Amino acid sequence: MRSSPMDDRPSSHAALLQRAREAAGGSQGPAERLQTICRLLRDGLEGYDWVGFYLVDPAADRSLVLGPYEGQPTEHTRIPFGRGICGQAAERGETVVVDDVSQESNYLACSTAVQSEVVVPVYHGGSLVGELDIDSHRSARFGPEDRAFVEAVAGISAPLVAALAAQESGCRSGTNGLHG
């Protein structure tokens, strides 16, 4: 059940952050745990209409590849650094919040319904391993509390994003991703 816009967001954020920690520590594989985190955010907060992770593709030079997500399918399964909001966040290595995507000349439209977006780089061991991307059908949806919350979720998710990126890289290079 989605929260009402009248919910006290900091309280909702705290509860969801705890649930994200629990999901991250689960026994499933990294893809399943990241999928659960996406679902928690999308279902738990009004206006978090598309929630997903992009992974840095170590096999491709400066490119992001779509990972687990919740929301409408997207044609943007691979994004070069510097292209679109996700590519800008990867290029800069910092969180990007866009209140009105129609004002962005470099915006990659996933849906005409999207009005605002927040993208947080995910770092693990000092290296960029992916991003957490959230789209909203409401303009200016992501305030300072949302930014801090999404950055905290990205931090919790970092080991899972790194593990999934390594696993996916192993699959693409023809190995099964197992050591031994």
List of domains in the chain: 9-172 (3.30.450.40)
Q: Are 6 and 13 in contact (CB under 8 A)?
A: no
Closest CA to 95 of 41, 153, 168, 136: 153
| Secondary structure (DSSP) of 87-130 | HHHHHHTS-EEES-GGG-TT---S-TT--EEEEEEEEETTEEEE
Q: Which residue is it, tokens 């967001």?
A: 9
Looking at per-residue pLDDT, the higher value among 45 and 60 belongs to 45
pTM value is 0.88
Q: What's the maximum distance between 2 C-alpha atoms anywhere in the chain?
A: 53
5: pLDDT confidence band, cut at 50, 70 and 90? very low
Query: What's the pLDDT tens digit per position in 85-139?
Result: 999 999 999 999 999 999 987 777 777 799 999 999 999 999 999 999 999 999 9
